[in-house]
Amino acid sequence: MIDSHCHLTYPGLVEKLDEVIEKSRETLKAIITVGFPFEGEKRERKEVFEGALAALRLSERFPGFIFVTLGLHPTQVPDMTEEEIEEYIEFIRRNKERIVGVGEIGLDRFWIKDEDTYKRTLEVFHRMLELAEEIGKPVVIHSRKAEEDAVEVLLSHSLKSGVLMHSYTGNMTAAKKALDNGFFFSVNYKLTNNKNMRKIAKNFPLEYLLTETDSPFLSETNEVNTPLQIKLIVEEISRLRGLSFSEVDEITTSNAVKFYKLPL
């Protein structure tokens, strides 16, 4: 099993990280964690790009098990100046050999209501995609309530290294268009209660599905989610598709290895 998208350095999970990683190594083949310029509130940060640095350091502590994508969440864009964004893009460029993807990046109309702010996030999204093209890395996409816009933007770029629609719950027309263009989808615990993610998990070709927890978010309970819950995702996909756990596990694990080009 592979957790293809989580936030190990985010508050709530980072406090019990060593314990979680120790247990995860017993059952998981790898974990891909996301690094952001900062975690939580920007005003609380202690060093420049501390979220990204923490993720990179974690991968160095657990080589061959923890891998990193570096991204800029659309909801963080309004809290950054143009200079900071350009510095962060250069930071990712310098660390391209230490990461397996650019993300999560994208668009968000759930949290971002102001149209001028949304336009700025759209411009930054284009810049992050251009960076991914330049350094030859796949992208991990956040597209909450902006799925159609995100797919159109993605199709305007030449993303030869791959596109992963993370935690996709949007309309199926955009989803099918993404699938037709070779995009991958990572499913999480939302598949138990979101009809569109269930459709994707049940009906899309298994060769285009990855498993994720998005921990510390999206727990089946009110507790902090961890990569250990990836087993629940594989079990639910198996039940929906009428396949064995081992078959789903083998294919989705292989998909993650291929998508991120993991040296496993």
166: annotated binding-site residue?
yes
73: annotated binding-site residue?
no
Round to whole Å and give the CA distance between 145 and 182. Answer: 21
Helices (H), 67-181: 82-94, 115-135, 147-155, 172-180
235: annotated binding-site residue?
no
CA angle 20, 23, 26 (to 5 degrees): 145
The DSSP code sequence of 203-230 is HS-GGGEEE---TTS--SSSSPP-GGGH
207: annotated binding-site residue?
no
Q: 3-state DSSP call for residue 101?
A: strand
79: annotated binding-site residue?
no
7: annotated binding-site residue?
yes
Round to whole Å and give the CA distance between 149 and 22. Answer: 40
Bind-site residues: 5, 7, 104, 142, 166, 214
Bind-site residues for a divalent metal cation: 5, 7, 104, 142, 166, 214
